Structure formats: structure tokens, C-alpha cells
Amino acid sequence: MMLSLVQAEKIMRASPALSSVPLTIPLPLASTRTRFSSEPLRFKQHVSNTHFFSRPVRLLSKQPIVRWSFSCQCRNRGRNYSKFDDEGEDFIVVNFYRFVSIQDPAAEIAKHLSFLQDLNIRGRIYLNEQGINAQYSGPSKDALAYVEWLKEDERFSDILVQVSPAIGRHAFPKLKLQNKPSLYEGGISHLPLLDPPMRAKPLEPSEWKEKLKDITDGDGEASSSDSGRSCILLDVRNAGYEWDVGHFRGARRPEVDCFRNTSFGLSDEKEAPSDPLINVDKEKTDILMYCTGGIRCDVYSTVLRQRGFKNLYTLKGGVSHYLEEEGTSEWVGNLFVFDSRLSLPPAAYNNNTVDEARTTPQTPEDTSFARCYICDSQVHELRHRNCANLDCNLLFLCCAECVVDLKGCCCSDCVTAPRLRPVLHGIKRYQKWHVYRDS
């Protein structure tokens, strides 16, 4: 629904449920009108009952969060988009984050928006009082121009930036620049993320590689090193499906369906008997945590620190930084990414093979661990697909035979569903439902 500021304020005053909720616009209206002509602001109301790490221990209150976000779809108005989509354009994907105190997020967003308005960038850029978290795509000259501009600010001068090739053009449909209550999945604003001692110690990729030598059990259980200390390797990514396409040797598959349900070290043996942190010595156990880009581990390490775990280590820059620095040593498979590419081979992070990785999603030599969700046979293409049944949309790995037999669906029930999309092969991704409905 399209609302002007006046209309939005009337709704806020008329609704008792929303009367106490401030209407936050990251940019003054005057400059918004000037910059984006007369197109009204697009307000979205989000009401959620987020419970970060809610299983089995509830760390948040039950009070629903109501917020208004600003989303502009008239980015780069008046520019010639065909210019940006020429075959010769070198598109990349950029990821970075930084936990740092930002006193006035609204003013900060206004500065960023002013700079970004002339750049062909699409993605997610979130800012709040705890810092910034960004994932976006664009032509390399535009994508890197934003990085260089950001580094001129001393708060972000040494920020670690991860760059990987885009497959085709943009990896995101539009640009979202928002003042979000949480930089990462809802419900982390109460965590002491701005206090470095409360976070785990970040290890350089070479240090991480040495630490992995202490992991001798193939299941990622606690193992004793020569020094007599125990060491546990944790995959702290969003869900098990990320592990399914690639992981460090010795890491157990996460038994969660989303990051906010991660419960390592938060339960007792009766509630979660498979928790590798149950009954471990919190003083003498080294806990190594890794994720895609580093932010999840930083967040979760503060939770474990509050639970009394002393020796916490994270992989600086996440797996993407490790693959760039150390290659595939101790790593098997591809790396799952949360954009239209879904999966990247380790070679994508090697500068010598960027051009090839940009056009051809390569398959690693070792794919023996990857199994078809339907028939449990070995899968050679380490890239998920969505179920063709729109009302299921399950993300799953599938062999070529099952794709054909079940028409791109995850099970026989979905094959007979009323809203089926066509079978997609290769690296194509499904579009919005109206595209198929209207055709």
C-alpha cells in the first residue's frame, strides 16, 4: 500500500494499537521528495513475535515488535539501465558488517542514501545503533565505490569486505536500506555486541586451520589435543541445508531450521541430548564456531559468553574469507549463500579463477557427502532448488532423475498441488507467482 507521510500519521493516530509506536523515517521528507520526485514513500508494517534462540530457552519477551520500514523502488531514477546491463559489465557481490556505535542511525542512513542514489546497487543494507550489515550486488566500479566511500569514515576504515563474482547480473531484486531493530535475524538488540570481550576471539584463516588439527573426531565431538584441552567444532549457520552443500570436515550438521532456533549450550541433556556443549568443561573446552561471513558467530558467541563459556573462537570473515586465504584445506563442497546464486564453489573466492566462476558454477571433486532429498542417492550438483509447488517452496537437493520424475517437486503430494511452477534446470531461479499465473 502506498502512503504519504500525512496519511501514515493519520493511521497511526486513529489506531489505538499503533498510537504508542513511533513512525521512524530514516530520511527527512523534504530531501526525500527532492531526491525521488513526487512518488510517495512506501511504508510496510511489520508485526512479529520474534524469539531469538527460542528453543528451548526463551531469551526474549513475548511483546510483539511493530516497526515501519522505508523501501524505495525508484533507485537511480532517470538513469539508463540498459547501460548497466551490458554484457561487458563486471558484476560482483559484496558482503561486510561491523558492530560499532551509531548515535543517530536516521542521519547515517540519509548520508548513505545520498551517496547510493547514483549507483547501480541492489541488496540489503541494514543500520542501527549497533552498526551495519550489508550484502549487495552491482557493477564492480559502483559496488567498490561504496566500499571506498564507507572506509573514509574512521569507524569503518578497517572493515573486512568479502567480494565474490555475480552469476549473470544482480544477485538481489532491489535495494533495501533500512533502520532495522536487529542487524541480523530479529531479537539480538539486547545482546552486548558492542563489547568486544563479550564476543569470541576472531582467528585468522591460518590460525583457524591450525586449530582444526585439534579436531580428530569425524563427528565434531569433543576431542583432546596434545595439551589435554578439549576442542569442539560448531557449524553456527542458518540451518542444516547449508551444511548439505558444504562444510568443514568434522563439523556436525546443525539440527535447526533457522538461526534463531540455534540452541547450542542453552539446554540440558533431557531437552537436547544431541547438544555437543552439554556437560562440557566451560573452562577447559575450546569452542570453534564458523559461519558464512562471520556475523552469526559474533552474535551467538555473546550468548555463550553469558552462559559461562570461556574459550570461544570464531573464524574471522567466515568461510568466504577462509576459502580466499586457505583454499579448500579441511573444507568439502560448495558454500551456500543467501542470494540468487544459492551456492558458490571454492574457486569463486580465488582471484585467479574469478572469471570462470562468474559464468560456470563449478562442482568440487568431493561430493560424496551430498545426498538427494528424495531418493538418497549421491548428488553431483551442489545447489539447492525450490519445490515447484508454490505453497511448499521447500529448499532441497535433488538428483537429475528425481527432478524429472517429480516435475521439480520435493514429494509426490506436491506433484498434484494446484499451484505448480515449471521445472527449472541449471542455475535458473523461480520468479514471482504472478509471472506464471499470468502466462
pLDDT at 345: 87
Express as a percent the part of the chain with pLDDT over 90: 41
Assess whether 110 and 142 both reside in one domain: yes
Query: 7 lies in a domain?
Result: no
Strands (E), 71-120: 91-99
Backbone φ and ψ of 82, nearest 5°:
-60, -30
Assess whether 327 and 216 both reside in one domain: yes
Span 325-330, average pLDDT = 90
Query: 219 lies in a domain?
Result: yes
CA angle, corner 54, sides to 48 and 56, nearest 5? Answer: 155
Quick check: 410 and 429 in contact, CB under 8 A?
Answer: no
The three cell numbers of residue 305 are 559468553
Mean pLDDT for the chain overall: 75
Assess whether 281 and 247 both reside in one domain: yes
User: Distance (Å, rounded) from C-alpha 394 to C-alpha 401?
Assistant: 18
- Grid look-up 552474535 returns 299
Query: 383 lies in a domain?
Result: yes
Assess whether 214 and 172 both reside in one domain: no
Express as a percent the part of the chain with pLDDT over 70: 67
pLDDT class for 430, splitting at 50, 70, 90?
A: confident
pLDDT at 98: 95
Helix axes of 140-151 and 105-116: crossing angle, nearest 10 degrees: 140
Residue where a domain terminates, one of 284, 311, 332: 332
Query: 2 lies in a domain?
Result: no
- For residue 251, the one-letter residue type is A
Q: Note if 291 is an active site residue.
A: yes
Using the predicted structure, report yes or no on whether residue 218 has a pLDDT greater than 50.
no
Instruction: Give every CB contact of residue 131 below 8 A, 6+ residues apart in sequence.
Output: 97, 98, 99, 100, 101, 102, 183, 193, 194
Distance of CA 180 to the CA centre of its chain: 15
Strands (E), 255-373: 285-290, 311-315, 331-333, 335-336, 343-344
pLDDT at 370: 87
Assess whether 236 and 307 both reside in one domain: yes
pLDDT digits (tens, 9 = 90+) for 109-143: 999 999 999 999 999 999 999 999 999 999 999 99
pLDDT at 309: 92
pLDDT at 93: 95
pLDDT at 278: 81
pLDDT at 146: 98
Query: 170 lies in a domain?
Result: yes
pLDDT digits (tens, 9 = 90+) for 57-94: 333 333 343 333 444 443 333 333 333 444 557 899 99
Assess whether 144 and 222 both reside in one domain: no
User: Cβ atoms within 10 A of the Cβ of 88, count?
Assistant: 5
pLDDT at 364: 52
Q: How far is CA 409 from CA 235, 251, 340, 341, in A?
A: 28, 29, 19, 20
Query: 70 lies in a domain?
Result: no
Residue where a domain terminates, one of 133, 154, 179: 179
Q: Which of 49-53, 345-349, 360-364, 425-429 has the highest mean pLDDT?
A: 345-349
pLDDT at 68: 34
The three cell numbers of residue 102 are 551509531
Using the predicted structure, report yes or no on whether residue 148 has a pLDDT greater than 80.
yes
- Give 277's DSSP letter: T
Instruction: Give every CB contact of residue 242 below 8 A, 6+ residues apart in sequence.
Output: 235, 254, 292, 336
In the three-class reduction of DSSP (H, G, I as helix; E, B as strand; rest coil), residue 57 is classed as coil
Q: Looking at 74, 231, 258, 291, which residue is catalytic?
A: 291
Query: 187 lies in a domain?
Result: no
Residue where a domain terminates, one of 146, 179, 212: 179
Span 316-330, average pLDDT = 93
User: Distance (Å, rounded) from C-alpha 95 to C-alpha 295?
Assistant: 11
pLDDT at 424: 82
pLDDT digits (tens, 9 = 90+) for 353-397: 444 444 444 555 567 788 999 999 998 888 888 999 999 999 899
Assess whether 152 and 219 both reside in one domain: no
Please count the structural domains in the chain: 3
Using the predicted structure, report yes or no on whether residue 401 has a pLDDT greater than 70.
yes
Quick check: 318 and 206 in contact, CB under 8 A?
Answer: no
pLDDT digits (tens, 9 = 90+) for 32-52: 323 333 333 343 333 333 333
pLDDT at 270: 54
Using the predicted structure, report yes or no on whether residue 258 has a pLDDT greater than 80.
no
Q: How far is CA 25 from CA 9, 14, 69, 107, 115, in A?
A: 12, 19, 7, 10, 18
The three cell numbers of residue 336 are 551456500
Query: 258 lies in a domain?
Result: yes
Assess whether 143 and 98 both reside in one domain: yes
Structural domain for 140, as ranges: 91-179
